[in-house]
Structure 1
Amino acid sequence: MDIGFSPEEMRFRDECRDWLQSNVPLEKRPIDAADAIGFDKAWQRRLFDAGWAGINWPTAYGGRGLSIVQQVIWLEEYAKAHAPWIGANFVGVNHGGPTLILNASEAQKSYHLTRILQGEAIWCQGFSEPGAGSDLASIKTRGRIEGDELVVNGSKIWTSFAHVADWQELVLRTEEGSQRHAGLSWAICDMHAPGITIRPIRKMSGQTEFAEVFYDDVRIPLSNVVGGLGNGWKVAMSTLSFERGTGFIAEQVRAGQEIAELIATARANGMIRDDGIADQLAQMRAEVAALRAMTYRNISEVVRTGQPGPEASVIRLFTAELGQRLERMAVLLMGEDMIDFAYGDDNAVQDYLRGFASTIAGGTAQIQRDIIGERLLGLPKSR
């Protein structure tokens, strides 16, 4: 593992830091997805115009063609600068786009990738279904082949940003009678196509970012299938590897910032004198450092092999569970102030409520443990 940075990479870090210091918006991003869509698109376009979108994407599609190490540096500095979450652009930029880079045809790349980086096209993910959440091999949404089209029927749930999205990365069953991983395909679905119905879901934090999506004879051109018919499982796994690998670096940097703030708060209000609280804060500070070390190790492996592996599930799981414990501690340290919480407030209680989704989205904590046990530790498959 190489965790050092070259002089060129250090100069790049300075360049990132200088630009962010001068350009991070002063206004806060609105909390709700529908309210934030204009903010998200404008910020993404600003990043693109200045050359800070798609650091390691190919230059042919609007990226800078730099190394994954430089992408990591950018994400670290972005978080340190308290730059806004990219919000509705998350799916397209962090795993939809990278999945297209690895698996799509030239025509698909040429049409979609630059639009994603510019913030012109918003993507959502059509993976989870009622009865097939983390177990994607059980999905029932079907695509019947008619001529040069797929005719799609079924439903998806927990689809982030569906109600503001233009396109969807959709996994569906295209082979009649197929079971489990076989017979699945990964397709690009136009979210404005006839036959699509979207019902937003309000979270307990008060936000509306998730939605149910229903497909009633929705027609998708076969030319929108990525990686070929029947290869959807392989393509989907590359999607989730990106989501579970480098996609959480910013969260880790913010975790380091948050633990420092929590320690300062505990000292200021005297709660640091409680041995239980002091022990928990010290443990979480150590775990933040360990998590960053694991991430650097995973990045070194990506540099060597060219693609994230199952080790990304360790990082995904650790990041989510540590984040939840940090959020619980932040609420505890609020004391009586938490009584004044109201929906729409941007405070520790809001983060605590949002955090319940972090061990569910992108594969539940239980599924991550199955992956770690089977693919890393060589344990028998769970039944």
Structure 2
Amino acid sequence: MAPPPELMDELVGEILIRLPPDEPEHLVRASLVCKPWLRLLTDPGFLRRYRAFHRTPPLLGLLHRLQVVQGDPEPRLVPTTAVPLLPYPDLRRSRALDCRHGRVLLHVLDRGGSFLVWDPVTGDKHRVPDVGIPWLIYTAAVLCAVSGCDHLDCHGGPFLVVFVATDDDDDELVKACVYSSETGAWSTPVCLDNGYESYAQHMQRALNLTRRIYNTPYVQPRRVALVGDEIYFTLRWGNAIVKYDWGNNCLSMINPPSHNSYNIVLMLMEDTSLGFAYIEGSSLYLWSRKVNSEGAAEWVQCRVMELETMIPVANPDDKAFVVGFAESLGVIFMSTGVGLFTIKLNSGQVKKVDEPGVYFSILPYMGFYTPDCCTLSSPARPRSH
């Protein structure tokens, strides 16, 4: 019997391009079938088409942060697929702060307070010097700095690190600054103080609530929301939202749609507006900050989702908490006594991604893992800078 005819390269490419990016092991296995397939699956042109075809980088792994009183979680990147991400860097003491644009930002606590920007796919590591702010509590973000980048293949290239903190020395002011890998320097910190009317009002409300104790404007150690060239984060007491425009190096405040919910998430909505999510009772409330017909920004409630029959709980007293968001995937992370779950906002699909535990802010690592990544992460490649 004659062997079956070989598929044309163009047809093979059209088939392979449709393999799902959230199951990247299929592409890796396909690259092992034969040398022609390997050449095709590592060809830069095919890879560009593959990423453009699927557009949304999948979730590859998870890190997370806890509140200050809870200490630090075990330093590990939990994989959510079968791909072999590189192990967490061998650091004596470190704290994961952010995952974004193919990079992970770590605070190296035993080396003078420096930072490490790490790529779990290629293994590249870049040291960032100490920020020089005597922080009391803080959060930070790592961003691709390539102008016009679509962030579908952010491996290498210049980056920014945005740092926001409650200063431990300077009257406990909120400060922010940004580091550029191109200049190798931090910007001059900018302060949010009583010169801002909204900030002064927030501090007065905190004083009234706490009777002059524990009114420090703590920056919440949550993953920040990135909307355009602006970073959004929250302060303790009333979910006060602070906006940092790093391009103009200025801070401002925004009142939230809800002051009373403790576990909240700031996120990028599908229409690129700022979103705000929280759970009250058994319902998930989603708000979006829209510009009205008069040009003023206001909060609009855009959705309410009933969770009682959607998210598994351990017992009648168990509750669900929102603990994170994956912006490009339209996915919210929720924690219960049964485990850590994702829920897709467009379909309501629920998926368990980790075991039960204490979660406060999930740091989702997203990116395309293609067969060329196996070459990028080989031991022969230099990976520290």
What TM-score results when the alignment is normalised by the length of structure 1? 0.25
Comparing both chains, which one has the higher relative contact order based on Cα–Cα distances under 8 Å and sequence gaps of 6 or more? 2
Larger gyration radius, structure 1 or structure 2: 2
Q: Which structure has more strand as a fraction of its residues?
A: 2
